[in-house]
Structure 1
Amino acid sequence: MCGFLVLLNEAARNRSPSLPDPCTALAHRGPDASGHLALAGPGRRAALHFRRLAVVDLDPRSGQPFGSPERGVLVYNGEVYNAPHLREVLRKRRVRFTTEGDTEVLYELLLQPDARRLLDQVDGMFAFALVLPDGRVRYGRDRLGVKPLYAAADAAGHLVALASEIEPLRAAGLTGGADPVAVAQGAMFLWTPPPRTGWQRVSAVPAGTVLSRRPPAYDEALTWWRAPVLAPATDIAAAVRASVARQMRADVMVGLLLSGGLDSTWLAVELLREGFTGPAFTARPRTVVSGTEPFEDDAPYAARVAHRLGLPLAWVDLDVDVLRRIPELVTTMELPFGDPAAVALIQLSGAARGQATVLLSGLGVEELFLGYERYQAVLLLQQLPAWTRPTLCAATLVPAPRRYRGRAEKFGRLLQLGARDWSWATQAYYSGREWAALSPLVGLDAITERHREVAGAVLDAGGTPLAALAECDRRLFLPGLNLLYGDRASMRASVELRVPFLGEQVVAAALGAAAEEQLRLGDGKARFRAASVASGVPQFVARRPKTGFGAPVRSLLREHGDRLWTEVRRSPLFDDLFDRRTADRLVAEHVHGRRDRGLAVFGLLCAAVWWERNAAGGAGRTAEVLSGYETAGAG
């Protein structure tokens, strides 16, 4: 796991040797070593900068940039889990290796005449850039976008830089201005759908794609490789077992994130089968969490699982005051973002760093095997005759018990929309009418365009609304939210996060069944759940309902929201982008208990910090207010 920056032409030429290391902003991604190489040819230049977190083959010979100007130079972030197999394939072609790492395997693979076919066989998470002797640049990401990669372009659309994070692009003055649409998406969804990033000249490189550009202009991007359709697999348990066995290999200590939920418990079961002896990290709140929050505490479940499996636990006491941690969250995520779940992983990763360099996580199961509640809603909607929808819509207007009020309101909104809009509406924190009042400058069509594009392609091809939602989640939600915060939160602490449930074998098992076969009404990810129990996951875990990270956002805002909002509402965000009076009403609804708007308000606080830092030209008053406020019992 590493970080890199590639500068091209003028961006590379303008770097003075006296300037600081342009990869300083990526030091957390690679504290173990750094490397730099300048390349030049007729009318072209490239500067490759790299930071290394040594995980596999700790020998300095596996450092980067890797290769030579005569053959090509590679910078690469990630892990190729089946590198031993691919190494043998290449050795049979008389390729001679000088290291034991996966970097050299990927490098030699990419230089083969049939490199595209060989890349089809890679099981791993990766983002790379390869500069060939003639100056061509090939760059891309793994199938699902586990590893990040960003491309900066100039005003004419010419590629000028590639980077693992956005901060080094900002430091080089290559990002352009803030993108209001992305900031609006961050408020609506609490994450930014790719390829937007928050900056007008920076985009996320598409997942599952390798692009190629030619010098000297680096203008036209040609698709050189696209992740192939996987052959369907039916045995989920065998796929999980093989993926865990591959991903636990490392030359450093490997740990487990254990919540006591279905996904992490299955990881624990399989790891123990493989002789796992590393630490298992479990979070518990440092202070008591309000009983009015819509989640259960994970800690008792994790303790019960650990006792059942004989697995020692390393407890991490979390500061659950996520309001005070918003500035840190915004800095770490870089993109417009507002999901408080990332705060827990930031703290877990920081606590784990002294004991493990690699952490295994259950991220990705919900999107692959359809575990979220929204899949249940869309499955029900597509089964309902159209004539029943007006009656049901009217029924949702009847006040529901507080616990179910938010779900009833969202389901009522879905009943009023067509299938092409269900994918974005299931993830939105505002109705269309509310959004029009809050955001007069950035309309609903602009922020939902990407969702409707992806969902529409599935529906136009004859797919079901549930299949359209699942495709949106795999292509947008998974890389834009969960994988983004998984990467940023762990790498901020110089820890590599691996996701065995997103290994190629498991993805093949997930996509080998239709969306409707993955779940039943009232039983999300039913197919996955059955396979986990057959593999040894205890029934008390399998029957446990899914809950989110236990951050008391709602109760914290009800207690402190009025005081904080008095200051936050002065943010230039509410002069430049959002309507201040509408935001006042939303906050008041939540603070006074009329509606649960906790996560929507949290998203506005995050957006205010982001806007002040990146569009208004300073650290901003909002960050200072949130970082410094005092609350009784905050730990």
Structure 2
Amino acid sequence: MCGIVGAVWEAGAKPVTMRELRAMTEALTHRGPDDGDVWIGETASGGGVALGHRRLSILDPTPCGRQPMTDEATGCRIAFNGEIYNYRELRKRHAGDRTFRTGTDTEVLLRLFGERGADCVDELRGMFGFAAFDPRSETLLIARDRLGQKPLFLRREPGRVLFASELKSLLQVDGAPREVDPAAVDRFLAYQYVPDPHCILRGYEKLPPGHRLRWRRGAVEIQRYWRPRYDAGTRDASPTEWLEETRETLSEAVRLRLRSDVPLGAFLSGGVDSTVICAVAQRILKEQGAGSLKTFSIGFAEKRYDESEHARVAAETLGTEHREFRVTPDALAALPRLAWHFDEPFGDSSAIPTLALSEHTREHVTVAISGDGGDELFCGYERYAAVRLAARLDRTGPFKSLLTANLWQKLPSGVEQKGFMRRAKRFVKELGNPPHERYLRWVGIFDRETRGGLYTPEFRVAMGDADAASDLLDAFEDCGCGEDSAEEQVRAATCADLPTYLAGDILTKVDRASMAVGLEARSPLLDHRVAELAAEMPQSIKVRGGSAKWPLKATAWSDDFARLPKGFLDRKKTGFGVPLGPWFRGELRPLLDRILLSDRALGRGWFRPEAVRRLIDDHAASRWDHSARLWCLLMLEVWCRVWIDGPTVPTAGPTTIEELM
């Protein structure tokens, strides 16, 4: 696991200097603390190419694996971030009459690129962001893995393209602009992250998951090379056959991700996904005679957010070597650190415990497998049940009459954001809207009306005709699912979550938090063959007998799960959160005034002071739970103070919140 940077330019365009390249590379030292190197070369047509790399040594940690790596036979070079889990199989297939110099997956990928060019991505099973240059055709290939586990930021300028694993590297280039894009701010407040391909800074972009960029002598082409086939129709298979295929595919995905030349463990929360993954991994390690799996979890003083007891039960049942860390989430300490590591504003507060878990886990292992992706692929979120119910009510005449009469307004509301009555009222209120719009309102942070009331007239003008809902609409339409049935609408929602919520929120959170401490996180459920199987699977198999994620629960060996307490895997999902609500009514209440209502924040001219004050006061008085919205506003302002307000680009994050006052 590493970080990459670089650029390519045509003749006459501005080159990247060695000083700039080194600065870009050093900005990613946290991603690759073990080693680093840079290279700049000329193209035959008078242009140039630059590659930089920081390395976290996982496979073949010897100096032989140093990057950028060169294939002496072809002259091709590569800077690679990620893991190719099937590299051993590819090595055998493409060895030919040439030997390999290293035991790395990087050399296998480089060989494959030299043979197949841009089509090399078709054979890869893994997570990756890489740049490979072929001097024979003067072609640079930049590619991102299918589901977006590894990031890739881009800046396209006249005659050249710059790229990096993190935005902070691109800001090291001389004259790099730092102008906030108002449309991206709107998107951030809607989603709590900036969805791909957009970027918080104007003139920058993110390469979307499953896409590749090909540069050839100044011509740039971006292509999508993979999508899960949600429109492929369902196979005529029995539940037993679906289950057996799930078991085989997931077991292979876990087995591939247990390959490592450094200590390896797993995150274990006690939820369905992590428990299933740990059960499969433990069984495989025992079969290999490799000892017990090391598992890690964190516990909190707040019982509502503490799943450590469930993790402990799962670990004892599975027989893992378990470590539990008791932590007190410290938002004041985390705020500036999160703003620096995440590069863009990021409003998911579960980044705080994710960072804490990664930090403690890194003290014992270098690689950790996780259960990310199970909810999106196997229909685990409660909101999918809401999608199904709404689709059925869409076709119910009497219910449409109730909507027309606005009788939903007479329903009582609760204060808690996730309280039953508040969710029920919001559900009924949105039934009259198109599926993608109501889905965004259900999953979003600030709805369209609340955002509109927050903005100043000047900011609305600066936004132009930006429409945050268009990103989700595009994702829905790209799935190719119809809207004729409840099952199709659920399929569309799960499909749309992959390039939006999963890539933009969950995987961004895991990547930045783990790489902040030099920990590699691997997700077997995000193997593209698992994703393709889930895409084709009928909803009646994913949710069976009222139990969501049935194939996952039934995938692990029955002997392991028979010993778990009754109902252990069917309990209500807790999530991985922090007590924002009480924080903003207690210890963090003064911080909201000091930051959000400061002259510095309001001087940006984005938000109306009275609207911000109303959010704070309503939350403090328990009239409404605005905790998620206030956290987004707080993270946005802290991000501005870290990345925008200073005269120079920071090479390290501030250590205390007081430094940002």
Common topology (TM > 0.5)? yes
1:519–1:525 Cα contact (<8 Å) kept: yes
Aligned to 1:412: 428
Query: Any idea what SS the aligned residue of 1:510 has?
Result: helix
**1:106-117 equivalences in 2 (<5 Å):** 106-113=109-116, 116=119
**1:259-270 equivalences in 2 (<5 Å):** 259-270=269-280
Whole-Å Cα distance in 1 between the matches of residues 209 and 473 of structure 2? Answer: 18
Deviation at 1:348, TM superposition (A): 1.4
| CA offset digits 1:230-255 (Å, max 9, x no partner) | 99893212222111111011000001
More moved, 440-449 vs 409-418:
440-449
| CA offset digits 1:287-335 (Å, max 9, x no partner) | x32x6xxx44201111111222222321222232335422222212111
Aligned to 1:162: 163
Alignment equivalent of 1:310, drawn from 300, 303, 319: 319
Alignment equivalent of 2:542, drawn from 510, 518, 534: 518
Does residue 186 in structure 1 map to residue 188 in structure 2?
A: yes
Whole-Å Cα distance in 1 between the matches of residues 594 and 381 of structure 2? Answer: 36
Whole-Å Cα distance in 2 between the matches of residues 535 and 149 of structure 1? Answer: 42
Deviation at 1:461, TM superposition (A): 5.5
Query: Any idea what SS the aligned residue of 2:129 has?
Result: strand
More moved, 536-545 vs 470-479:
536-545
Aligned to 1:96: 99
Alignment equivalent of 1:281, drawn from 296, 299, 306: 296
Whole-Å Cα distance in 2 between the matches of residues 533 and 438 of structure 1? Answer: 52
Whole-Å Cα distance in 2 between the matches of residues 593 and 228 of structure 1? Answer: 43
Whole-Å Cα distance in 2 between the matches of residues 138 and 271 of structure 1? Answer: 34
- Segments of 5+ residues of structure 1 without an aligned counterpart are 630-635
Query: Any idea what SS the aligned residue of 2:296 has?
Result: strand
Aligned to 1:2: 2
Aligned to 2:172: 171
Aligned to 1:583: 612
Whole-Å Cα distance in 2 between the matches of residues 100 and 228 of structure 1? Answer: 31
Aligned residues: 615
Code of the residue aligned with 2:354 in structure 1: it is L
**1:196-235 equivalences in 2 (<5 Å):** 196-215=198-217, 217=218, 219-223=219-223, 225-226=225-226, 234=242, 235=245
Deviation at 1:389, TM superposition (A): 3.9
Does residue 430 in structure 1 map to residue 430 in structure 2?
A: no
Aligned to 2:352: 343
Alignment equivalent of 1:120, drawn from 109, 122, 125: 122
Code of the residue aligned with 2:575 in structure 1: it is G
- Could you say if the C-alpha distance between residues 315 and 222 of structure 1 is closer, same or farther in structure 2, counting changes exceeding 3 Å? closer
Deviation at 1:439, TM superposition (A): 2.6
Whole-Å Cα distance in 2 between the matches of residues 561 and 619 of structure 1? Answer: 29
| CA offset digits 1:452-489 (Å, max 9, x no partner) | 22223446856733222222201111110111111110
Whole-Å Cα distance in 2 between the matches of residues 20 and 100 of structure 1? Answer: 27
Does residue 391 in structure 1 map to residue 380 in structure 2?
A: no
Whole-Å Cα distance in 1 between the matches of residues 61 and 6 of structure 2? Answer: 23
Deviation at 1:278, TM superposition (A): 4.4
1:196–1:204 Cα contact (<8 Å) kept: yes
- Could you say if the C-alpha distance between residues 346 and 619 of structure 1 is closer, same or farther in structure 2, counting changes exceeding 3 Å? farther
1:338–1:602 Cα contact (<8 Å) kept: yes
**Cα RMSD between the aligned structures?**
2.9
Deviation at 1:413, TM superposition (A): 3.6
Code of the residue aligned with 2:614 in structure 1: it is R
Deviation at 1:422, TM superposition (A): 2.8
Runs of 4+ in structure 1 deviating by more than 6 angstroms, as ranges, are 230-233, 623-626
1:260–1:298 Cα contact (<8 Å) kept: yes
| CA offset digits 1:380-434 (Å, max 9, x no partner) | 1011124314526634641145532431243134223112313322221233322
| CA offset digits 1:34-82 (Å, max 9, x no partner) | 1111110232111211111100111221211111585211111111111
Whole-Å Cα distance in 2 between the matches of residues 239 and 106 of structure 1? Answer: 23
**1:66-81 equivalences in 2 (<5 Å):** 66-68=69-71, 70-81=74-85
1:44–1:135 Cα contact (<8 Å) kept: no
Whole-Å Cα distance in 1 between the matches of residues 298 and 387 of structure 2? Answer: 32
Identity of aligned residues (%): 27
1:282–1:316 Cα contact (<8 Å) kept: yes
Alignment equivalent of 2:515, drawn from 491, 511, 529: 491
Whole-Å Cα distance in 2 between the matches of residues 542 and 130 of structure 1? Answer: 44
1:174–1:201 Cα contact (<8 Å) kept: no
2:387–2:490 Cα contact (<8 Å) kept: yes
Deviation at 1:89, TM superposition (A): 0.8
Whole-Å Cα distance in 2 between the matches of residues 598 and 406 of structure 1? Answer: 15
More moved, 413-422 vs 250-259:
413-422
- Could you say if the C-alpha distance between residues 626 and 593 of structure 1 is closer, same or farther in structure 2, counting changes exceeding 3 Å? farther
Whole-Å Cα distance in 1 between the matches of residues 270 and 621 of structure 2? Answer: 34
Does residue 254 in structure 1 map to residue 251 in structure 2?
A: no
- Could you say if the C-alpha distance between residues 425 and 400 of structure 1 is closer, same or farther in structure 2, counting changes exceeding 3 Å? closer
Query: Any idea what SS the aligned residue of 1:79 has?
Result: strand
Whole-Å Cα distance in 2 between the matches of residues 11 and 572 of structure 1? Answer: 39
1:175–1:202 Cα contact (<8 Å) kept: no
Does residue 64 in structure 1 map to residue 67 in structure 2?
A: yes
Alignment equivalent of 1:47, drawn from 50, 56, 59: 50
Query: Any idea what SS the aligned residue of 1:578 has?
Result: coil
**1:421-460 equivalences in 2 (<5 Å):** 421-440=437-456, 441=460, 442=463, 446-458=467-479
Deviation at 1:580, TM superposition (A): 2.0
- Could you say if the C-alpha distance between residues 516 and 452 of structure 1 is closer, same or farther in structure 2, counting changes exceeding 3 Å? farther
Whole-Å Cα distance in 2 between the matches of residues 356 and 187 of structure 1? Answer: 36
Deviation at 1:517, TM superposition (A): 4.5
Deviation at 1:611, TM superposition (A): 2.4
Whole-Å Cα distance in 1 between the matches of residues 655 and 528 of structure 2? Answer: 45
Deviation at 1:224, TM superposition (A): 8.2
Aligned to 2:637: 608
Aligned to 2:657: 627
- Could you say if the C-alpha distance between residues 416 and 461 of structure 1 is closer, same or farther in structure 2, counting changes exceeding 3 Å? closer
Whole-Å Cα distance in 2 between the matches of residues 63 and 515 of structure 1? Answer: 46
**1:292-331 equivalences in 2 (<5 Å):** 295-331=304-340
Whole-Å Cα distance in 1 between the matches of residues 21 and 528 of structure 2? Answer: 42
- Could you say if the C-alpha distance between residues 580 and 495 of structure 1 is closer, same or farther in structure 2, counting changes exceeding 3 Å? same
Whole-Å Cα distance in 1 between the matches of residues 496 and 59 of structure 2? Answer: 34
Aligned to 1:143: 146
More moved, 166-175 vs 256-265:
166-175
Query: Any idea what SS the aligned residue of 2:115 has?
Result: coil
Code of the residue aligned with 1:297 in structure 2: it is D
2:266–2:293 Cα contact (<8 Å) kept: yes
Aligned to 2:29: 27
Whole-Å Cα distance in 2 between the matches of residues 424 and 465 of structure 1? Answer: 14
Alignment equivalent of 1:541, drawn from 561, 568, 584: 568
- Could you say if the C-alpha distance between residues 580 and 520 of structure 1 is closer, same or farther in structure 2, counting changes exceeding 3 Å? farther
- Could you say if the C-alpha distance between residues 571 and 265 of structure 1 is closer, same or farther in structure 2, counting changes exceeding 3 Å? farther
Whole-Å Cα distance in 1 between the matches of residues 436 and 628 of structure 2? Answer: 25
Code of the residue aligned with 1:199 in structure 2: it is L
Code of the residue aligned with 2:84 in structure 1: it is V
- Could you say if the C-alpha distance between residues 617 and 382 of structure 1 is closer, same or farther in structure 2, counting changes exceeding 3 Å? same
| CA offset digits 1:208-240 (Å, max 9, x no partner) | 12221112x3x4315384468599893212222
Whole-Å Cα distance in 2 between the matches of residues 405 and 337 of structure 1? Answer: 28
Whole-Å Cα distance in 2 between the matches of residues 20 and 114 of structure 1? Answer: 27
Code of the residue aligned with 1:450 in structure 2: it is D
Code of the residue aligned with 1:146 in structure 2: it is Q
Code of the residue aligned with 1:570 in structure 2: it is S
Whole-Å Cα distance in 2 between the matches of residues 540 and 597 of structure 1? Answer: 33
- Could you say if the C-alpha distance between residues 18 and 77 of structure 1 is closer, same or farther in structure 2, counting changes exceeding 3 Å? closer
Whole-Å Cα distance in 2 between the matches of residues 16 and 3 of structure 1? Answer: 17
